[in-house]
Amino acid sequence: MEERSVTHSTFVIERKYAAAPERVFAAFADPAMKRRWYLDAGGRDVESYDLEFGAGGWERARFRLPAGTPVAGMVCTNDGVHLEIVPDRRVVMASTMTIGERCISASLITMEISPAGAGTELIFTHQGAFFAGADGPAMREAGWRTLLERLGIDLAGGA
């Protein structure tokens, strides 16, 4: 059996949004709302998106990445399971990312939501294992920074 190298990485992204914690939480819990900022705003060709939000629930996104990306046109699948949910406060999930038929990473993701003045602070922690040939920690962090920026635009009503 061929050995695969693994790169482990953790990064934390902190964001403040001018929206109530309940609205930020809903952006992760409501399938239509999450699809809007997570998939549709990125120019991807979305083949399917399903979300069953709740502890033990799952999330699956299947899409093709646009031209200009390292894997343009290839099928990318994100599969996740929600491990813990505290309404309006926290979401913890485990997920894998597959390109074609090859799993390129496994992650533990924690989203901590708390009131901050008239808005919300989000602390997003990503702990990942990136397998040989994966996008790697730097690209994944850049991707999540873009996604969380899109979330802010969506929460402001600009999506």
Q: Mean pLDDT across the chain, nearest whole number?
A: 92
* Domains recognised in the chain with CATH numbers: 6-155 (3.30.530.20)
Read off the pTM: 0.91
Poorest-pLDDT segment among 44-58, 60-74, 88-102, 116-130: 60-74
Half-sphere exposure of 65 (CA within 13 A, CB side): 14
Percent of the chain predicted with pLDDT > 90: 80
Q: Quote the pLDDT of residue 158.
A: 64
How far apart are alpha carbons 17 and 2 in whole angstroms? 45
How far apart are alpha carbons 9 and 129 in whole angstroms? 7
Mean pLDDT of 48-67: 94
The pLDDT tens digits of the residues spanning 93-131 come to 999 999 988 999 999 999 999 999 999 999 999 999 999
Percent of the chain predicted with pLDDT > 70: 96
Q: What end-to-end distance do the CA atoms of the chain give, in Å?
A: 47
pLDDT at 1 over 60: no
Q: Quote the pLDDT of residue 3.
A: 60
Question: How sure is the predictor about 142, in pLDDT bands with cuts at 50, 70 and 90?
Answer: very high
pLDDT at 159 over 70: no
Amino acid identity, residue 9?
A: S
Q: What angle do CA 158, 33, 46 make, to 5 degrees?
A: 95
How far apart are alpha carbons 103 and 96 in whole angstroms? 7
